[in-house]
Amino acid sequence: MTQTTTSQRPRYLIPVDFVRGALMGMAELVPGVSGGTVALVTGIYDELIKSANHVVQGLRALVTGPERGKRFGAELRSVNWWMVVPVLIGMATVVFTVAGVMHDFVANTPEHARGLFFGMVAASLIVPLQMAPARAKGRSPVWDWVIVVVAAVVAFVLTSFAGGQVVENPALPIVFIAAAVAICALVIPGVSGSFFLLAVGLYAPTLQAVDDRNFAYLGVFMLGAIVGLAAFVKLLHYLLNEHRRTTLLAMAGLMLGSLRALWPWQTIGAADGDGAGALLAPTEPILWPVLLAVLGAVIVLALLGAEKLLQRRETQPAGN
């Protein structure tokens, strides 16, 4: 998907970017759904990774090498702040206002919740496939299938292992480390940061900390997330630029495998913080999970259609 540059980005997109951030924040509250997937669907994934890389490079320039201030300022000026700030505000707004509601929805009606998000992620599979550049001449299509299948198997197996019990009063160093890993999962489509927290028993405590405004816990969590992002985003930026097709195919595979966590019919597990449940054949309730899965797919397709309309408006010559 094409992206506008920082200087070209129309200001009317600020509320649109706020909504994009809100959707990402909502996704990260649900085990099995990745905020990175939402960023892909809404067309801002590349620009977010690029901007995050500029921030990381700027911070590194500030502590190493000559002309630190000049290099730091140059990197920050390259960040697409007109997009990044509304997205972050949208994410924070949702996380701090609907964390409790979202947790109740997932815990009290797990089949309905998983059905909705199953449909959303399944429909989202077309996004990385559309974004992938054409296969290089002489490259066998078998290699592409291998990448997708291996990534899908990895995601399927990892989500199956999410059987951690809830950790009561977790030590802050553990929170720091978990946040550093979870933030890496957040930026990879198909890998859910919240599901990782669920696997290590910190999903419920983290949502509770948000709901209770436990700023000591949240401060340590944010610090860990910043450190994890700084360590990971440069690698991801490199992969998207130098090995784009392979990286996007791997993302598609991860999204496919992550559907295991969102299969509506499971034994008691992921919804209430006890880890992944065993997969079951469809059983009551059936109608609403299926209808919500269809609704989720329709929502994603509508978002994709809206994104294409916005792109046409952004690229249309002035006065037309």
**pLDDT at 240 exceeding the cut of 80:** yes
Helix (H, G, I), strand (E, B) or coil at 100: helix
* pLDDT for 289 beyond 90: yes
Structure tokens at 203: 């999903």
Q: Note the pLDDT tens digit of each residue in 261-279.
A: 788 888 865 444 445 678 8
HSE of 278 in the Cβ direction (CA atoms, 13 Å)? Answer: 1
Straight-line distance from the first to the last Cα atom of the chain, in angstroms, rounded to the nearest whole number: 22
Q: What is the pLDDT of residues 98-113, one digit of tens each?
A: 877 777 787 788 889 8
Predicted local confidence at residue 32, as pLDDT: 65
Q: How far apart are CA 274 and CA 272, in angstroms?
A: 6
pLDDT (0 to 100) of residue 10: 62
Lowest mean pLDDT across 73-82, 208-217, 245-254, 303-312? 303-312
Percent of residues in the chain assigned helix, strand, coil, to nearest 5:
75, 0, 25
- Dihedral (Cα; 25, 26, 32, 36), 10-degree rounding: -40
Nearest alpha-carbon partner for 159 in 76, 255, 59, 64? 255
* Six token digits for residue 232: 């990971």
- Unique residue bearing structure tokens 């294409």: 308
pLDDT digits (tens, 9 = 90+) for 6-46: 445 666 677 888 988 888 888 877 766 778 888 888 888 88
At residue 313, does pLDDT exceed 80?
no
